[in-house]
């Protein structure tokens, strides 16, 4: 890890590692914890996918200036996810009304009409205004906002105070 930080810079490693860790946590809670994502949860993931791709690309481009720009762009994407996390947490905590429909996880492939109706009627409804899990009163959306915004600010500070190699 120290060699990666020395070669690419702490900001670059954080710009890649933070969305990777947050996405791993989101997918882990979905696949192993049974916490199905709502529409706003999905919206929070997309900027992290973008940040992961952008920061990953920055490992392979020549020139410190281009790498620095890509790392900063990844930080912007991470901050966008944090902003969506604030919006989602506000909906969960009742600070403002939701602005999206709730979602459901349907698997309709290969079913006949009766099977599809049964799947629709028994699919879990995932509400955007209810936090399925909290720790110390902070929901997953709240944690995403905290980690994403703090991480993006750290990346910006590291990039402005140190060179991205």
Over the stretch 10-49, which tens digit does the pLDDT of each residue have? 889 999 999 999 999 989 988 888 878 888 888 899 999 9
The confidence score (pLDDT) of residue 90 equals 84
Q: Pick from 83, 60, 84: which is nearest to 71 by CA?
A: 60
C-alpha distances in Å from residue 79, one per residue of 64, 125, 144, 152, 161: 22, 28, 10, 6, 19
**Secondary structure (3-state) at 104:** strand
Cα distance between residue 84 and residue 140, in whole Å: 12
Q: pLDDT tens digits, residue range 98-149? A: 666 555 455 556 667 676 667 666 666 666 677 676 668 778 888 899 999 9
Q: Which tokens belong to 146?
A: 């905290």
What is the rounded end-to-end Cα distance, in angstroms, of the chain? 15
Closest CA to 38 of 120, 104, 99, 137: 104
Indicate the pLDDT class of residue 91, thresholds 50, 70 and 90: confident
């Amino acid at each position: 890890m120290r060699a990666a930080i020395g070669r690419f810079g702490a900001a670059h490693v954080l710009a890649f590692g933070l969305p990777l860790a947050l996405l791993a946590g989101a997918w882990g809670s979905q696949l192993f914890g049974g916490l199905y994502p709502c529409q706003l949860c999905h919206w929070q993931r997309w900027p992290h996918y973008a940040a992961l791709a952008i920061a990953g690309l920055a490992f392979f481009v020549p020139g410190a200036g281009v790498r620095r720009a890509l790392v900063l762009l990844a930080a912007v994407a991470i901050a966008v996810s944090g902003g969506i996390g604030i919006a989602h947490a506000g909906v969960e905590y009742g600070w403002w009304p939701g602005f999206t429909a709730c979602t459901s996880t349907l698997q309709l492939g290969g079913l006949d009409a009766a099977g599809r109706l049964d799947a629709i009627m028994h699919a879990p409804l995932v509400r955007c205004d209810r936090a399925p899990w909290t720790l110390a009163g902070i929901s997953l959306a709240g944690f995403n906002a905290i980690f994403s915004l703090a991480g993006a600010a750290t990346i910006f500070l590291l990039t402005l105070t140190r060179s991205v190699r």
